[in-house]
Amino acid sequence: MDEFVRHEGIAAPLLRDNIDTDAIIPSREMRRVSKHGLGEGLFAGWRYLSQEGREPNPDFVLNRPAYRGASILLGGANFGCGSSREHAVWALKEYGIRAIVAPGFGTIFAGNCVRNGLLPLVLPGEVIAAIAAWVRAAPGENRVLIDLQAQRLEAAGQAFYFDIDAGARRMLLQGLDAIALTLTRGEVIDRFHRRRQELRPWLY
């Protein structure tokens, strides 16, 4: 998993509340067992005028030339609610999104983000609206900077500090998924197994 320490990028405003996982990746787009190939289906219901020809909807923010290459999403309240499908996070990541800034997230979605190296960053709605207005003035130039080490987002000439669970922060900073996080305790696990084998050799 890629480490997330410091990231600067174009931020795309998608300030809708209750964007659920079916909007992020519709079920009809989940045709693969693999994580790969899902980016094309990201926000498919909004991104395309027709699903057959994949004709882009020019009004959708990610299709506008000014937001080409966006790697940060500015979202509304309860982002990622709905079903627990991890495909939603896989689609966002494959598209190139590294962080989502919203007033709140669906709990399972936020956990899936962290386990896949995508930062779910919580800021008040009024702050996000102000950042979005600044970004819209010149999307390519008015880039958002996120410093996870310092827990700080910089935009519009201001610094906004955010809270994040210590465990989630560590996983993102060090690029650890759930398995890699467990393996950091390898010595403890080995000691446990050796002691268990001494106490119950018949099990082995």
Helix (H, G, I), strand (E, B) or coil at 116: coil
CA 179 to chain centre: 19
Residue 126 within any structural domain of the chain: yes
Query: How many distinct structural domains can be found in the chain?
Result: 1
Segment 25-29 shows an average pLDDT of 92
Residue written as token pair 């827990």:
151
Nearest to 7 by CA among 102, 119, 123: 119
pLDDT digits (tens, 9 = 90+) for 141-184: 999 999 999 999 999 999 999 999 999 999 999 998 877 767 77
> For residue range 30-53, what is the model confidence (pLDDT) as tens digits?
887 778 889 999 999 999 998 788
The pLDDT value recorded for residue 197 is: 85
Position 185 in a domain: no
Range of the domain at 79: 6-176
Give CA angle at 82 (76, 88), nearest 5°.
Answer: 80
To the nearest whole percent, how much of the chain has pLDDT over 70? 100
Mean pLDDT of the chain: 93
The torsion angles phi and psi of 139, rounded to 5 degrees, stand at -55, -40
Position 197 in a domain: no
Does residue 202 fall inside a structural domain?
A: no
More confident call, 192 vs 33: 192
Q: How far apart are CA 141 and CA 137, in angstroms?
A: 9
| pLDDT score at 95 | 97
Mean pLDDT calculated for residue range 88-112: 97
The pTM score is 0.89
Identity of the amino acid at 175: G
Using DSSP, state whether 132 is helix, strand or coil: helix
Q: What is the CATH number of the domain that holds 65?
A: 3.20.19.10
User: Which pLDDT tens digit goes with each residue over 81-99?
Assistant: 999 999 999 999 999 999 9
